[in-house]
Amino acid sequence: MKLNELTIKQARALLLKKEITSVELTEACLGRIKEVDDKVKACLTVCEEIAMSEAKKADERIANGETGELLGIPYIAKDNILTKGIRTTAASKILDNYIAPFDATIIKKLKKAGAVLLAKANMDEFAHGASTENSAYGLTHNPWDFDRVPGGSSGGSAAAVAADMCLFSLGTDTGGSVRCPASFCGVTGMKPTYGRSSRFGLMAMTSSTDVPGPITKTVEDSAIVLGVMAGNDKNDASTPDEKVPDYNKDLSKNIKGLKIGVPEIFFGEGLNKDVKEIVNIAIKKYKDLGVEFISIKLPHAKYGIPVYYIITPSEISSNLARFDGIRYGFSEKESKNLLEVYTKSRGKGFGAEAKRRIMLGTYVLSAGYYDAYYLKAQKVRTKIKEELDNELEKLDAILIPTQPTTAFKIGEQSDDPLKMYLEDIYQAPASLSGLPAISIPCGFAKDLPVGMQLIGKRFDEEKIFNIANVYQENTDFHLQKPKI
């Protein structure tokens, strides 16, 4: 096995035994990026010099007896997460060549832990999309089939892990942006509870649902990374002062007797028959392991997409107002007055999807429409949250497919925004409710990965890590690699 193909756990063991160095591990990952990224196009900025410098420091720390779980481990971060002194564009021309002046809290935590930043990953512009086709810098290709999308908006992050360019990556999940690409690329993607990991230094999209999360090769690795990322941050009021448990402690705990809910609504119309069959086989596997499955009804979950696509553009309209051509980023110099600076800078700097969402959000928030749309959407959101919370009081988790289909072909849905928005249908309820959810590989349909999603109680990541990990201990879908 090549060094870049190792999991975090495997690499950590070899680093501790001094059988490999962080420099060797980092060189292997950088070599892999050079070898395959001209085909995958997962990276926007590669930080080779910085990575090698951080790897040397990590080796010095290891030589001095330090033993941190991410010490010397190379990773890639989504390009909407601020990294001091490194270009951070959110895949938008309006932030072309923007150099972040400080590190996001999660980057600071990873730096302190000794993780090595290799590159910044491509994404849908400002995280607007489910395919990574909306990047201003070109699309990312799915490593399993270059003619297909990797999912989005954290498509570059997921594709990089699937192609073994790094040992893990960071994504952000607002309405499925970690789970969707994890499913399409056959890797493990964790959306933590809203507030479990800090949003400080994350370019805001939908502030009430944004949450950074890890994309990894295994559930074990996901638990390791979240253990470092998670926790209270005085710069983010949404992070509670809640103790971060040792997520690795009960990963292999017996799951016999656990109760998992299966919502009828997510196994009906719209679900691809191959995906349905594969997820049902996964359910049978869980039954063989002693899990009890209970059919549940979530009558308001079907409204997740319309609610999400009223609330999300509204918050986007507000959050993207700061990109005005004055303070930072692209500014149109050929302007006669201040209004022209605003309109021309935003007109040239934002892509089509960003503009669409700004206009939708501005319309929804305007006088005469706020009550009819935004306020009503917030009320329905509360109903969705209450239904999920009520069901989870009686259950250990809820299981549904991550996506209704496997990865679709590049360009197949780009002319139909509504069809693209429906890609979030299986993820929006957990996002709107602020619940933790993990996507893990559970099989293949016509040689393309299929993911299933486990949703847990608020701040109960420990339980869904356990349920997901036991599945991976008894299957090998997560070990399959694309042949590139």
Burial of 433 by CB count in 10 Å (0-12 exposed, 13-18 middle, 19+ buried)?
Answer: buried
Q: Given 3-state DSSP classes, what are the helix, strand and coil percentages for the chain, each rounded to the nearest 5?
A: 45, 15, 40
Active site includes 177?
A: yes
Question: Of 92, 153, 222, 317, which one is the catalytic site residue?
Answer: 153
**Shortest CA distance to 156 belongs to which of 246, 81, 220?**
81
At how many degrees (to 10) do helices 273-288 and 461-473 cross? 90
Structure tokens at 465: 């890590």
The two beta strands, 437-445 and 448-455, are antiparallel
| Distance separating alpha carbons of residues 359 and 370, to the nearest angstrom | 14
- Asked if 249 is an active-site residue, the reply is no
Hunting for tokens 């602020």 — which residue is that? 434
Measured torsion, CA atoms of residues 159, 38, 11, 180, in degrees rounded to the nearest 10: 0
Cβ proximity of 210 and 202 under 8 Å: yes
Exactly one of 92, 177, 197, 433 is catalytic; name it: 177
* Cα–Cα distance for residue pair 256/384, rounded to 1 Å: 29
Does residue 284 carry a catalytic annotation?
Answer: no
What residue has token string 């490999």?
A: 20
Q: How many residues does the chain have?
A: 484
Q: From the candidates 41, 78, 109, 385, give the one annotated as an active-site residue.
A: 78
Tokens 């009550």, located at residue: 371
- Active-site residue set: 78, 153, 177
